[in-house]
Amino acid sequence: MRRISNVRSVHGLALLLPLVLFLAYLASGCTNRSVVPSPVNLPHMPIEPFVAELQQQYPDTFSLRQRIWLDVGDKHYDFLGQLVMVRDQSFRAVAFGELGGLFLDILYRNDEVLILANPAGLPEKALREGVARDILHLFNSQSIAQGFLFAVDDSLIGFSHSPNENVRVEFLFSASPLQLQQSQSFYKNKITRQVTYHNYRLLEGWQKMLPTKIMVNNHTWRYRLEIDLLQITPSIDYQRAFPADLSRSKP
């Protein structure tokens, strides 16, 4: 009788296993949480080319003209953008509507974000903590001290980087050619941002292939960005972009 009872127990566990796996899937997927990748030994795969690709994708200073689409809830915005970036120091992002009117003006300087103009009345906290941080993630060449590679599948290789104990960023690259395809940002293992990079080609003024279409899904602030890169210029007019009399907007 004991043997029969054991067989029935094993059979019962086997029937429960799919349910357990399904519940585990729900627990991980529906809460937007990620399984932290583990370092693996990828033969003949040095880490330096991946770090260099992140750090050298854009010039240290540049101006970038863009076409941008922004979706926030049921609202849709379409505008032209001009970004001036000084690596690890400052940026100025100005957007104009289809008729040429000023849509948005954001200044980042000394690790502070100022909203200089916001005629559309977009939530300023979302602009400061969402859009401005997205701009830094996309266009400020990454300063990376350490990280590790991990296998994704036959076509993608991941690079994981943790700026601090609560934040993790995963960059997914195609192996040949070595190009950034996706990035995912996590806070305390919960996803906050997903980005995909498309249509790599040369733009006049810079020698590296750039993704000329970028799609951003910001989970924290619940908006989507679609960005088309139109023109890049490595030299900038610093005084024009960052005049000393720029004033702070009201919080």
Task: Kindly state the helix (H) or strand (E) to which residue 168 belongs, with its residue range.
Answer: strand 167-174
Query: What average pLDDT does range 28-32 have in this prediction?
Result: 46
HSE value, Cβ hemisphere, 13 Å, CA-based, for 162: 13
Long-range CB contacts (< 8 A, 24+ apart) of 31-39?
31/190, 32/190, 32/191, 32/219, 33/189, 33/190, 33/191, 34/184, 34/186, 34/189, 34/190, 34/191, 36/168, 36/189, 37/150, 37/158, 37/160, 37/170, 38/150, 39/148, 39/149, 39/150
Q: In whole angstroms, what is the distance from residue 123 CA to residue 204 CA?
A: 35
Convert the pLDDT of each residue in 169-193 to its tens digit.
999 999 889 999 999 999 999 999 9
Going by pLDDT thresholds of 50, 70 and 90, the confidence category of residue 14 is: very low
Using DSSP, state whether 199 is helix, strand or coil.
strand
pLDDT in tens, 115-142: 999 998 999 999 999 999 999 999 987 6
Q: Residue 230 corresponds to which tokens in the numbers above?
A: 């139109």
Closest CA to 77 of 115, 100, 103: 103
User: Tokens 């941080």, residue?
Assistant: 133
Instruction: Work out the average pLDDT over 155-164.
Output: 90
Separation of alpha carbons 159 and 36, rounded Å: 12
What percentage of residues in the chain have a pLDDT greater than 90? 59
- Split at pLDDT 50, 70, 90, the class of 75 is very high
**Cα first-last separation, the chain:** 75
Chain position carrying tokens 């400052």 = 90
